Structure 1
Amino acid sequence: MEFLTLRASDGASTRIASHGAHVCSWIPAQGKEQLFLSQRSAFTSDSAIRGGIPVIFPQFATLGPLPRHGFARTAKWKLQSNEMHPDGSAVAVFCLQENIARLTIWPHVFTARLTVRVYANTLQVSLEIENRGDTPFSFTAALHSYFALADLAQARLHGLQGVVYRDSLCDRNDVLETAEYLHHIQEIDRIYGPLTQPLRLEQAQQQQLHIESSGFTDAVVWNPGADAAVKLPDLAAGEEQRMLCVEAAIVRQPVVLAPGTRWNGSQTMTLSDQ
């Protein structure tokens, strides 16, 4: 499997696989790894990588006729550019288009571009979808970010109070989140939206991670919990306690993209002391 390592002038780095344009690692300048990657991840051409930031397109989960989470996360993307910008940030752009196999299951002419930018204490991942065909198409999408935790039980996720969510575990819709923050998290699978503010992931005695989305109107919070985790062959025992997915997503209201137009969404993650 091919990988690209981006390194900013200040030492911040990220590692991206061409398979899925999958961000597998993010280490801020003078920091430590911020993304979870399972030690059992299968780095094979027909499997999704467990951890990092999978790109979900053109279908989220099983909310449609396509394979779970669509085809982008298991496709080989083409590296379009790899540059060091004047501000010291390192930036790479990956590209994916239709082919015969994809047209068979999703008959639309498109270009997807994933731009990854790393610098200082920030990682920004942007997804652009272009409709190059002559008919509209609709899609859902997400950046399925797995964040590394020292202990799931001690983590707190701020910024969702007052937002409604769909609870996929019990098939309940439009539940109002009343908690100031999520904590003592165990098994969870919720689609929150529309978001009203950036999110903040807090861990005891560690820097805080600020998560801001643009274009993506929803956030998915997911952890399989201990019971379901043992059924996942690409997750080692106990690893679910060292990760939490906080995904930038557009799911509740699919995008309808007219011919010749583009949609953009991004997730910007910044590590800070407060």
Structure 2
Amino acid sequence: MATFQVVTEQHGELNCWRISSAHAELLVAQQGAQILSYQRMGEPPLLWLSDQAIFRQGKSVRAGVPVCWPWFGIFERNPQAVKAEYQGEQAPAHGLVRGRDWQLLGIEERGDSLRIEFTLPEARGDLPGWPHDVELTLVIELAERLTVTLTSHNHGSDSVALSQALHSYFAVSDVRQARVEGVDGLGYIETLANWEQRQQQGALGFAGETDRIYLAAPEQLAIVDPHWNRRITLRASGSRTAVIWNPWTDRARDLPDMADDGWQRMLCIETANVWDDVVTLKPGQAHSMGVSIGSEAL
């Protein structure tokens, strides 16, 4: 049986837990139920934590796995059904839950794995401008792989439409040398060129700012990192879209919580329900979206 150690830490204004086993270490913040970092012993980090991350209440940390919910990205770019659910005046990017403290329901050892469960009570009708009763839970499982599962359960009397993402920041040695496998032949939305729909040819390499929504994505994608001699494997569930993002030089300079060269060491592949993959929950219906993260030598 694995032995896990859980230590409470304070990072800036945020309450966090550092969880370690003989094989891996995980840092999780109460705010946003956000994984901040994940590293397997003897390896470089798998999830990236910005050198200039800001640990401030109400501000999502540029790191790990922020949760985007009940909409993703720029609000105006969401489908009408998702926008119709919100009655507030100003809609922050990536939804309403990243900057809120979630409630820790428990940390439980189960054989060789550790299960951490969070819920956001405010989603049951108390999110400003979003008057719906949805039970929102996030489960993190630390074992041979790291698995993150976000579940929305509609307890209201009306259907609810939402978009969402696990906005995962992966650590790479140099994004210019990395490539993403599993996208060959997929249609994608090129957000940097008037949201045109295009088709991917071959694996995806990086030579400039990248912000694409891949449609009908397969369950498994991989980041190949030759310099670190590893392949990061991602297995998605409950999701048919993947968002791949890197800010490159100009955007990175505009981000106060990223070093000017920070873009070289990170790559976002976001497990998502966006575009034509939004989730509509009938009364009583639930939906789970998740990603399992592992690594292997090349």
The TM tier, using the shorter chain, reads over 0.9
Matches within 5 A, 1:230-269: 230-252=253-275, 253-269=277-293
Tell me, yes or no, if structure 1 residue 223 matches structure 2 residue 246: yes
* 1:116 corresponds to: 140
Q: Runs of 4 or more off by more than 6 Å in structure 1?
A: none
* 1:46 corresponds to: 58
1:69 equivalent among 94, 103, 108: 94
Q: Distance in 1 between matches of 2:132 and 2:115?
A: 28
* 1:89 corresponds to: 113
Question: 1:98 aligns to what SS in structure 2?
Answer: helix
Tell me, yes or no, if structure 1 residue 80 matches structure 2 residue 92: no
The answer to whether the 8 A contact 1:166-1:191 is kept is yes
Amino acid at match of 2:282: A
- Number of aligned residue pairs: give it: 270
* 1:160 corresponds to: 183
Amino acid at match of 1:76: D
Deviation, 1:51, is 1.5
Normalised to the residue count of structure 1, the TM-score between the two structures is 0.93
* 1:145 corresponds to: 168
* 2:27 corresponds to: 15
The answer to whether the 8 A contact 1:257-1:263 is kept is yes
Residue 188 and residue 99 in structure 1: after superposition, are their counterparts in 2 closer, same or farther (change >3 A)? closer
The answer to whether the 8 A contact 2:190-2:213 is kept is yes
Amino acid at match of 2:287: W
Question: 1:113 aligns to what SS in structure 2?
Answer: strand
Amino acid at match of 1:20: G
The answer to whether the 8 A contact 1:112-1:130 is kept is yes
Q: Distance in 2 between matches of 1:45 and 1:188?
A: 29
Question: 1:47 aligns to what SS in structure 2?
Answer: coil
More divergent stretch after superposition (135-144 vs 99-108): 99-108
| Structure 1 gap segments, 5+ residues each | none
Q: Distance in 2 between matches of 1:36 and 1:196?
A: 23
Higher normalized contact order (CA 8 Å, seq sep 6+, divided by chain length): 1
Deviation, 1:197, is 4.5
Amino acid at match of 2:278: P
Residue 207 and residue 92 in structure 1: after superposition, are their counterparts in 2 closer, same or farther (change >3 A)? same
Question: 1:221 aligns to what SS in structure 2?
Answer: strand
| Structure 2 gap segments, 5+ residues each | 1-13, 84-90
Amino acid at match of 2:226: A
Q: Distance in 2 between matches of 1:59 and 1:260?
A: 20
CA-based RMSD of the aligned residues comes to: 1.7
Q: Distance in 2 between matches of 1:201 and 1:79?
A: 31
1:189 equivalent among 211, 218, 223: 211
* 1:31 corresponds to: 43
